[in-house]
Amino acid sequence: MCMRKLFEDEEVGGVLLKTNNKSNQPEHQDLNEDKLTKAKNRYIKQHEEMLLREAEIARQNEKSEEIIVPVIHTDALAKCTFYYSVLINLISKSYSAWKHSPAYKILFYTTQPAHVIMIAAVLCVTSAMVPSTERTNIAGQPHSRTASFIYLTSFVIHFGAQIWMTFVSGLTLYFALPRHSFGEVQRVLFPRYFSLNACLSLITLLIFVKHHPMNTWDTEIAIQVFGMSGAFFLELLIRLYLTPPLLRLIIQKNALERAAGVGTEIGRHNPGPLKHCPHYLIIHRAFRRVHVTIAMGNMVTMACTVLHLHYISSKLCVL
């Protein structure tokens, strides 16, 4: 409709101009009206054809997303890749369907679920720290290999994810991809990164506290417990309260920059003509403020992780 209106306004303006220039020649009025009608019909037809082409392209894209069984049967790597893509495709479709459900909107577009999750996390950690007779007995017994394996696995994955995301993936992609492409990658990775880190921190903390009840703490153990608790709550806080507004600001900022034709620079920020736009500057300052807060929180959690790594290294008996 906007396209039709635009063409009608352009044609009407052109015809009115000609009519004003030739107001003394009424014999051309009918001819101009016929030209106007033909032009309007022509542009309406072009607009309808454009809509049909877009619908056809959409149908072709849907067909191209269908699963195609590979012809190669002897290549084990190709088979594994194919079945992995099938699994990812099913998960993506299920997630896309869930995104349109009322439960998703309640969980991710309101703040009340975030408050509930944070309260539940506080209660979970607090209950794990409360001493009991059963935990006291466990503290005096040798640690099981399964618990030790899960504890070390969660800690190692947590620390490795922090190092990779902060010093390898982030810096490498920032200096290798256009700024908007880098932003799209970070927009996908940020929620997963802090969700994974929060879960791993909680697992490490619960297993450690289970084998070190509060009534057996000394200064060293207390520092480790408070450090791991701080890392867990800070990562959960970033995931619940800082990541969603950051993602919304990225979308708003990128939309304005694409409209202005900027955002393709690599390793730097050049707003171009938007440096004089007050609305863009407000969004950019808000984005920088939230992003810096998240970065500082991430560095604090890394410091807590390194502190616990130092504790683990002092207790190793294999070297």
* Residue 105 placed within a domain: no
Is the distance from CB of 246 to CB of 288 less than 8 angstroms? no
Is the distance from CB of 142 to CB of 220 less than 8 angstroms? no
Q: Could you report the per-residue pLDDT of 74-121, keeping only the tens digit for each? A: 577 777 888 888 888 888 888 778 777 777 776 666 667 888 888 888
* Residue 73 placed within a domain: no
What percent of the chain has pLDDT above 90? Answer: 38
Q: Which amino acid is at 85?
A: S
Res 111: pLDDT: 61
Confidence of residue 6 (pLDDT cuts 50, 70, 90): very low
By residue count, the chain amounts to: 319
Res 196: pLDDT: 95
Its domain, for residue 41, covers 2-54
* Residue 159 placed within a domain: yes
* Residue 66 placed within a domain: no
Q: Could you report the per-residue pLDDT of 147-170, keeping only the tens digit for each? A: 999 999 999 999 999 999 999 998
The two three-digit tokens of residue 95, written as one number: 């997630």
Selection from 243, 246, 121 nearest residue 194 by Cα? 243
Within this chain, do residues 50 and 132 fall inside the same structural domain, yes or no?
no
- Pick the last residue of a domain from 14, 34, 54: 54
- What integer is the mean pLDDT of 271-291? 91
Work out how many domains the chain is built from and give that number.
2
* Residue 32 placed within a domain: yes
The pTM (predicted TM-score) of the whole model is: 0.68
Within this chain, do residues 211 and 292 fall inside the same structural domain, yes or no?
yes
* Residue 72 placed within a domain: no
* Residue 218 placed within a domain: yes
* Residue 62 placed within a domain: no
Selection from 214, 245, 230 nearest residue 121 by Cα? 230
- What integer is the mean pLDDT of 292-296? 96
Within this chain, do residues 37 and 181 fall inside the same structural domain, yes or no?
no
Q: Could you report the per-residue pLDDT of 8-50, keeping only the tens digit for each? A: 444 444 444 444 444 445 555 666 667 667 766 776 777 677 7
Residue in the structure block whose two tokens are 């309406």: 44
